[in-house]
Amino acid sequence: MARNDMISGNVWEQYSKKVQDRMNNPVAMGELNQADADKVGARLIVADFGAESCGDAVRLFWLVDEKTHTIIDSKFKSFGCGTAIASSDAMAELCIGKTVDEAVKITNTEVELHLRDDENTPAVPPQKMHCSVMAYDVILEAAAQYKGVKRETLENSDIVCECARKTKQDIITAIRDYDLTTIDGIGEKTKAGTYCRSCIRPGGHEKKDIYLVDILAETREQIDRENLEKGADTTQSGENSFDKMTIVQRIKAIDTVIDEFIRPMLVMDGGDMEIIDIKENIPHYDIYIRYLGACGSCASGSTGTLYAIESTLKQKVDENIRVLPI
């Protein structure tokens, strides 16, 4: 009994007090009908949305003043878990007093932030972020119904991270503006990939057409080509030693050696690797890597394989390189 209580308690602590309160005492749960709309001279909107990934569903009720397009009242009914109830409750409450166009701009991240006890602590565990995504989706359904248009005309089909509602262009812009070279860097600047993490690479609970790793690789390649065209990359001419290179040039120099001398060896054994970060620790340059595939569980990843990678980079790039797996 004590052990089960401990497990339940630990899980429960991952939810904010606001989420727990709304799970048990939602303030906007209920229904609105045509009689309610007639009393205030408003238009009744009833929209449904269901999440295939978990089977949860939500119904959203709006009373909209058609003269000002303002949402006078908003209620919901949720068929799902406690997190879905709390997220839907916050979503319905946030809609009240906004115009329909303003309501469409209520993102799922705004719902989640509204449910936090403090701004730095997530309101729900990452795997439950999809519940606030569902709250956003039902707003789109309601707005499309009110406007008499298809939902597709209101939503951005270029969304890569559903949890943070970030588009491919959002990610590309962040990579360029902040010279990002890692997935962790993208998450820090945009929040993309920091919740359920399905958008990072294949293998998550939701299949994507494009992943953050693809966008990062494509954008870095494009940036490198642009630098070459501008004459910024002087690595091949020998005019730029490793200590004088920019972070982009260093990554390119290391990637070139890895692709030619290291990656083929790893792939043959069903593995791979990726560069996570490069940090100066003078006189050393610490290269942080992550093993992928079979390499992730291979014992030699911290012995023979690591020695081979580091030795190759020392010989081909710079003798002060150290390789650190994470």
pLDDT digits (tens, 9 = 90+) for 148-173: 998 877 765 567 887 777 888 889 98
For the segment 67-83, the average pLDDT, to the nearest whole number, is 90
7 has pLDDT over 60: no
C-alpha closest to that of 141 among 30, 45, 26: 45
The one catalytic residue in 95, 131, 163, 196 is: 131
pLDDT digits (tens, 9 = 90+) for 274-318: 888 888 888 999 999 999 888 878 877 778 888 889 999 999 899
Token digits for 301? Answer: 């990843």
Q: What percent of the residues of the chain are helix, what percent strand, and what percent coil, each to the nearest 5?
A: 50, 20, 35
**Residue 267, helix vs strand vs coil:** helix
Q: What's at 185, amino acid-wise?
A: G
pLDDT digits (tens, 9 = 90+) for 56-69: 788 999 999 999 99
Q: What is the pTM of this model?
A: 0.50
C-alpha closest to that of 45 among 17, 73, 9: 73
For the segment 228-247, the average pLDDT, to the nearest whole number, is 62
- 294 to each of 71, 113, 275, 319, 322, how far by Cα in Å? 54, 38, 17, 28, 22
Cβ(140)–Cβ(154) below 8 Å: yes
Buried-state track 199-238, b at ≥16 Cβ within 10 A, e below 16: bbbeeeeeebeebbbbbbeebbeebbeebeeeeebebeee
- The rounded distance, in Å, linking the Cα atoms of 281 and 183 is 22
131 tagged catalytic: yes
